Structure 1
Amino acid sequence: MTDRLSVAIAAGGTAGHVNPALALAEELSDRGHAVRFFGQTRRLEGTLVPKAGFPFFPVEVTGFDRERPWSIVPALLHLAREERRLVSSFRADPSLRPDVVVGFGAYVELPLVRAATRLGIPVVLHEQNSVSGLANRKSASSAALVAISQPGVRETFERAGAKRIEFTGNPVLRSVLSGDRARGRAALGIPEDAVLLLAFGGSLGAQHINRFMVSIKDELLSRSGVYVLHSCGAEDFDATRDALALTADEAERYRVQPYIDDMGDMLAASDLVLSRAGASSVAEIAALAVPSVLVPYPHATADHQTTNARFLVDSGAAVMCADADIDGDGFARTLLGLVDDGAARDEMRAAARGLAASRAACALADGVESVCAGA
């Protein structure tokens, strides 16, 4: 049994950083450890972390714009100031000093990670994507453990001097993992024997996917047992709704909405997903073992969404299409073929279950405990 640990977590900026950190915090808290978050009050973590019930300590940092090189000067000054402040705080009050620090890759992790390194506190880093962020690369050589979600990023951290690298997967919130198929279908009013296609483009939607869904609406609804849940993003909602021009009868089987609050239930209720391939989307789809058709965002840094997608594609749990090919006949045939082929979907679901993606938070928590136990 590991002694009760004081764990400091730094994560911020986007849900892709914050939600996996919260998933780890849930697991660590259940194991009896004390968890505190460090982040920026004006960013997403300043809302999500207190809402989840975890203590939140503000850190003031500024990123820098590579197109404006001079912006690195104030960024470094803020970083150094916050690092000194944290070192002083931990020295002055031993009750504030953590036993271990976990960084989730955003720039906001750097003051905490550097302060921990100066004080001899072990550091764990978690990388959600297939292409590492700058903060994690710069911190890797001083980390006791680098946990990765995509096997392909291992080489990057080896070059960066990481001493210990483990594949844990990307933690998923319990609210998603607890998704229930029957509950989701009841909320949507969808029969158990119907086929549900869930289409979404991430938290902001995806215009190209939205336009494709408009073009294929009639073909989908020509299948009497097919239902569609289409989350198009708030910014594109009005245009997508108007373009779909759903009749009252069509709206019974085709639901379009700006976003999805209860993603766990909706994923669990789905038979097939059409999505971008952001790290969080891939992790949630894998954890709920839903067959998927993935269209990586073409302008993602270093095309990392394509590499993210390969985690599912290579296992047989998903198929992938380039964004440039989405308007071709072949893509529509692929999607409709899976809508029609329950046996193929069953094989994909079984492959997804084989990834054991739902255990990522447990695996990462094991890693955090191990660095404190000297393993």
Structure 2
Amino acid sequence: MVRRSGISQCRRSSGRTADDRINSSFLVVRRLFSDRFDGSGRIIVERGSRCKDFALTVVYAVVTGGGTSGHVIPAIAICELLVEAGHPVSDIRYVGSRRGVEQELMRSFEVAAEYLPISGLQRSWTIRGMARNVLLPWRLLRSRILARGLLKLWSPGVVVSVGGYASEPMSRAALAAHVPLVCVSYDRIPGLATRRQAKRATISAVAFEGSSLPRSVLTGAPVREQLRGLDVSASRALSRSMLGISLDARMVVVMGGSLGSGVLNSMVADLLLEMAGTQSVVYHICGQRFARDSMPHIPAGVQYVRVGYEDRMADVYSALDVLVSRAGASSVAEIATVGVAAVLIPWPDAADGHQELNARWLTDAGAGILMDDAACVDGRAVAQVTQLLADSDRVSIMARTAYQLGAIHRSTALVKAIEGAAHATVARGTMDD
């Protein structure tokens, strides 16, 4: 069978006309990484990628970043915002790391994705960790060159970085090619990659007032579509039915962030004992790495549900009465977006203490209660949860206050900032509906 080349393909013969060539820099990429290309000049998709064919085409936006779900979920939220604003899903690309959680989380999402060999610095002194660090410069170089090739293939109007080590190759490629770069920062203290990229970015879209990032625009944090329009009160009965929870039971949800928390998981055993005989529910999102741990003792009168990962968060938020959670940026933004009462226990080893600062945005306004890891050990956290369950008026006030704070996250400010950067019309300041 003879295949005819289309307008976006190079001819399969050795001879080419002047207007039927690939850009020279792209040929460098193909020459260096011939295993990544097929005979027609198109990039071969990575294992697990949703993108079937990266033919030469112009796209509107490339969203980049990842490594952990704390970066990937905001990236997905940004893609959803762009689609809601009228940009076809075919005009959006996502670029992450093939060594993070991206491929698993992006599997059910429609946006075409590409995964680079970039990896983060390993802080463990194991042989495997040190071996990965030795290979890090090569992986970084390879990822940068591949990112430049992808940028030339897609010619995007804007690149949006959500931070993390996976954002570096494409962000640097955008800056080198003078493509508008938007850095999205949703922590009170931006991460290292975001701080570095923001120095030359077109704008920095930030979730909190008073950001130190240059050319900052207050846009709120990127939050998934299923949560931005959620009415937890109206959805409560249906969500409890979906989760198998009685409508009359008092429900506590404990979640320790994308990786789970051993400290919060240990507290659950004490919480179950304290709630014995109360006809309550403890819904425990323990983290995949803890999913095979031995089950705690479950006393009579308490329903206990444990999952390693939960993708039905709209149902979980609608069903719960009180949330116990770490204070990662995505968790804090979601709490405010949907409006729930939370006991926040920041991870003490977070860089620059940013989780505590994230939590204080809620707790200083009365929308949450701030506690530390020690409270999980000495029983104070359990006592606080049981007090809240007995005080429905206070829970309602906390939830309403959180919802009021989350108005900026439910707005279209972020997508407007991205569109403005693409058209080079964004001025420094606050963008809102």
**TM-score of the pair, normalised by structure 1:** 0.85
CA distance in 1 between partners of 2:132 and 2:196 (Å): 18
> Where does residue 197 of structure 1 map in the other structure?
252
CA distance in 2 between partners of 1:82 and 1:237 (Å): 33
Work out which of the two has the higher radius of gyration on C-alpha atoms and give 1 or 2: 2
RMSD of Structure 2 on Structure 1 (CA): 2.8
> Where does residue 112 of structure 2 map in the other structure?
55
> Where does residue 282 of structure 1 map in the other structure?
332
Q: Are positions 1:43 and 2:100 aligned together?
A: yes
Give the conservation status (yes or no) of the 8 Å contact 1:232–1:240. no
CA shift at 1:329, angstroms? 4.6
Q: 2:187 aligns with which of 112, 129, 132?
A: 129
| 1:107-136 Cα deviation digits (max 9, x unpaired) | 222221122122221100112323322211
> Where does residue 271 of structure 2 map in the other structure?
216
Name the aligned partner's letter for residue 75 of structure 2.
Answer: A
> Where does residue 350 of structure 1 map in the other structure?
400
CA shift at 1:360, angstroms? 4.9
Q: Are positions 1:10 and 2:61 aligned together?
A: no
> Where does residue 11 of structure 2 map in the other structure?
none
Q: 2:198 aligns with which of 125, 140, 164?
A: 140
Give the conservation status (yes or no) of the 8 Å contact 1:99–1:121. yes
> Where does residue 174 of structure 1 map in the other structure?
225
User: Where do residues 142-161 of structure 1 align in structure 2 (5 Å cutoff)?
Assistant: 142-151=200-209, 154-155=211-212, 157=213
> Where does residue 165 of structure 2 map in the other structure?
107
| Aligned CA distance change for structure 1 residues 275 and 82 (closer, same or farther; 3 Å) | closer
Give the conservation status (yes or no) of the 8 Å contact 2:261–2:286. yes
Unpaired runs of 5+ in structure 1? Answer: none
CA distance in 1 between partners of 2:287 and 2:131 (Å): 35
CA distance in 2 between partners of 1:134 and 1:108 (Å): 12
Query: What SS is found at the alignment partner of 1:198?
Result: strand
| 1:12-67 Cα deviation digits (max 9, x unpaired) | 21111011110110110122222111122343223333430111123332433578
CA distance in 2 between partners of 1:59 and 1:189 (Å): 40
> Where does residue 364 of structure 2 map in the other structure?
314
Query: What SS is found at the alignment partner of 2:412?
Result: helix
User: Where do residues 248-327 of structure 1 align in structure 2 (5 Å cutoff)?
Assistant: 249-250=300-301, 253-327=303-377
Give the conservation status (yes or no) of the 8 Å contact 1:103–1:126. yes
CA distance in 1 between partners of 2:337 and 2:150 (Å): 39
Query: What SS is found at the alignment partner of 1:52?
Result: coil
| Aligned CA distance change for structure 1 residues 103 and 289 (closer, same or farther; 3 Å) | same
| 1:229-281 Cα deviation digits (max 9, x unpaired) | 2223344445452x32x25x535x33333332312101111111011112222
CA distance in 2 between partners of 1:75 and 1:260 (Å): 32
Give the conservation status (yes or no) of the 8 Å contact 2:277–2:301. no
Name the aligned partner's letter for residue 201 of structure 1.
Answer: G
Identity %: 31
| Aligned CA distance change for structure 1 residues 85 and 185 (closer, same or farther; 3 Å) | closer
Using CA pairs under 8 Å that are at least 6 residues apart, name the structure with larger relative contact order, 1 or 2.
1
CA distance in 1 between partners of 2:168 and 2:307 (Å): 38
User: Where do residues 232-251 of structure 1 align in structure 2 (5 Å cutoff)?
Assistant: 232-237=286-291, 239=293, 241=295, 243-244=296-297, 246=298, 249-250=300-301
Q: More helix by proportion, 1 or 2?
A: 1
| Aligned CA distance change for structure 1 residues 38 and 260 (closer, same or farther; 3 Å) | closer
| 1:336-365 Cα deviation digits (max 9, x unpaired) | 211100110111011011112573573211
Give the conservation status (yes or no) of the 8 Å contact 1:9–1:103. yes
Give the conservation status (yes or no) of the 8 Å contact 1:172–1:361. no
> Where does residue 24 of structure 1 map in the other structure?
78
CA distance in 2 between partners of 1:285 and 1:97 (Å): 37
> Where does residue 283 of structure 2 map in the other structure?
229
Unpaired runs of 5+ in structure 2? Answer: 1-57, 427-433
| Aligned CA distance change for structure 1 residues 186 and 144 (closer, same or farther; 3 Å) | same
| 1:291-325 Cα deviation digits (max 9, x unpaired) | 00011112222222111111211221100101123
Q: Which segment is superposed worse, 321-330 or 288-297?
A: 321-330
Q: 2:240 aligns with which of 185, 195, 207?
A: 185
User: Where do residues 326-337 of structure 1 align in structure 2 (5 Å cutoff)?
Assistant: 326-337=376-387
Count residues with an aligned counterpart: 357
Name the aligned partner's letter for residue 301 of structure 1.
Answer: A
Q: Which segment is superposed worse, 73-82 or 34-43?
A: 73-82
Name the aligned partner's letter for residue 389 of structure 2.
Answer: V
**TM-score of the pair, normalised by structure 2:** 0.74
CA distance in 1 between partners of 2:265 and 2:139 (Å): 41
Give the conservation status (yes or no) of the 8 Å contact 2:67–2:99. no
CA shift at 1:77, angstroms? 5.1
